[in-house]
Amino acid sequence: MEVKISEQGGTMTAAFVGRLDTPASLEVSRDIQPLLDNANKTLVLDCKELSYISSSGLRIFLTIRKAAAAKGGKVIVKDITDDIRQVFMMTGFLNLFEVRNG
């Protein structure tokens, strides 16, 4: 699992690559600090190469979403696969995020 963070203008993008299972999420929870620090901006969570997510991974997404709500930023979840969309739908996460595909 890898998170690639880049910044351009007022937008910070985090590309999640691989499987966000419980042990991976423990590591990633440290990597997302720049996103939490910039939660007043637009945060794009690029999920094109995110192949799996468990509740621990969802917790990371929710943490980012809560930070943005608190600091007045915006979160866009980009290019989720059908499998991840299914998990988002099941857990009500589709209602919590602006999801953009394509």
Judged by CB under 8 A, which stretch of 2-10, 21-29, 36-44 contacts another protein?
21-29
Query: Which residue from 72, 58, 69, 8 is spatially nearest to 29, judged by alpha carbons?
Result: 58
Is residue 21 near another protein by the rule CB under 8 A? yes
Contact (Cβ atoms closer than 8 angstroms) between residue 52 and residue 81 = no
Residue 93 CB, shortest distance to another protein, in Å, is: 8
Is residue 40 near another protein by the rule CB under 8 A? no
In the stretch 79-98, what mask flags binding to another protein with x, by CB under 8 A? ---xx--xx--xxx--xx--
Classify burial at 5, counting beta carbons within 10 Å of its beta carbon; exposed 0-12, middle 13-18, buried 19 or more: middle
